[in-house]
Amino acid sequence: MPEYKIEEVVNRRQLRKFVKFPDELYKDCPQYVPAIHSDQISSLTDGVPTARYCPHKLWLALKDGKVAGRICAMINPRYNQLYDKKRVRFGWFDVINDIEVARLLVETAEKWAKGQGMEEIHGPLWYNTLGKQGMLVEGFENIPQFNTIYNYSYYNDLVTSLGFEKECDWIQYKMPGCQEIPEKVRRISNLLFERYKLHEGNIDILKKDKVKVKEFFDVYNESFSSAVYNFVPFTPEEIDAEAKSVMGFLSNKTSVVIMDQDDQLAGFAICFPSISKALQKAKGHLFPFGWWYLLRALKNYENIDLMLNGATPKWQNTGVSGLFHMGMSDRCNANGSIWTITNPQIETNSAANAWGKYDHELYMRRRCYIKKIDH
């Protein structure tokens, strides 16, 4: 009989095993995109503001002395207060195809959460909305975006066998990069530009303006608070951290910001060249060659990831989305982009229907699972 054991991650050696385990599990999987190890360690050791206010625990599962699975359980008190819930999140969930290993991991997370007064467990999720979330249920043949999860199909069988049920799904679409937007959309967009004195902002200038950067994230909080399921607004500390990690990569070559006549943000489409294949080459390390792979990828516009797009509350339902769709189309055509991949969007969000105007196909579907914790 196999011998199963659970270990809480309490030292640096165990943490390295925790971070590296997926690389071994997926070593023969051509779709898997390794995360940068140093980024993972930072996120798991209070290196990001969210981790500092979200209690969390990490465990490794061993089978006959060898690492066979991992899990992180985390409680976001701001989420629970905002939605009046008592939920623990699970993430960083990876496991061999063994129900006993999965059971040991989940039951350990539940036991800890129960001691913290939690009543439900859901995931896979990150601390907040922008992290990797959603177990892959369709699109296993495709390479994921750098900020999304890839997992084997058997993960879903394991968690449903343990009593988890669907909470929600996120969907992603793949679209030809050089397709033109419908003429009607372009005509209406040009009328909106003229009627409301809207214009495109210069991202290279905006991203150096700390006030404008803060305004952008304030708008992000306000725009998505009612539209995104389970959304948790950023704290000021999280805004600072995201600004430092993301804003430097924004470019007029791929992203679009729409400003009103008072030079206030009206809408935005944040897009990046895909870095997934570069991360595969980096194999979890920035040095010695990881940085070089990533820098090259950021100058390759063949495949574009559509990361965030939306309108400020004032401009929602006014057609302003057509303006940044037009800007995205113009950039993709100018760059010779071949494919664009949308970021995961909740299937119930009406904004996901906007892609129906264009040639598109389902790329990936992701699922958040949930179950009650036995008391």
By the 10 Å C-beta count (0-12 exposed, 13-18 middle, 19+ buried), 232 is classed as: buried
In the chain, pLDDT over 70 holds for what percent of residues? Answer: 99
Checking if the pLDDT of 211 tops 90, the result is: no
Asked if CATH classification 3.40.630 holds for the domain at 178-337, the reply, yes or no, is yes
Checking if the pLDDT of 338 tops 70, the result is: yes
Q: What's residue 316's pLDDT?
A: 85
Rounded Cα distance between 349 and 76, Å, is 23
Checking if the pLDDT of 352 tops 70, the result is: no
* CA distance readout (Å), 248 to 113, 203, 204, 205, 259: 38, 10, 9, 11, 20
Which residue has tokens 């495709």? 142
Cβ neighbours, 10 Å, residue 81:
10
The token pair that represents 121 in the structure block: 């467990």
Tally of CA atoms within 13 A in the half-sphere of 363 that contains its CB: 25
What confidence tens digit (pLDDT) does each residue in 128-174 have? Answer: 987 899 999 999 999 999 999 999 999 999 999 999 999 999 999 99
* Under 8 Å between Cβ of 359 and 176: yes
In this prediction, residue 351 has a pLDDT band, given cuts at 50, 70 and 90, of: low
SS3 (DSSP) at 181: coil
Q: Residues 265-275: what's their mean pLDDT?
A: 94
> Which backbone phi and psi does 313 adopt, to 5 degrees?
-50, -40
Rounded Cα distance between 321 and 319, Å, is 5
Q: What's residue 220's pLDDT?
A: 84
Give residues with Cβ within 8 angstroms of 206, minimum separation 6. Answer: 212, 213, 216, 257
CATH superfamily of 4-170+368-372: Gcn5-related N-acetyltransferase (GNAT) (3.40.630.30)
The token pair that represents 348 in the structure block: 């119930």
Checking if the pLDDT of 91 tops 80, the result is: yes
Amino acid present at 347? E
Rg (CA), the chain: 21
By the 10 Å C-beta count (0-12 exposed, 13-18 middle, 19+ buried), 193 is classed as: middle
Q: Same CATH topology for 4-170+368-372 and 178-337?
A: yes
Q: Domain coordinates of the chain in residue numbers? A: 4-170+368-372, 178-337
Q: What's residue 33's pLDDT?
A: 98
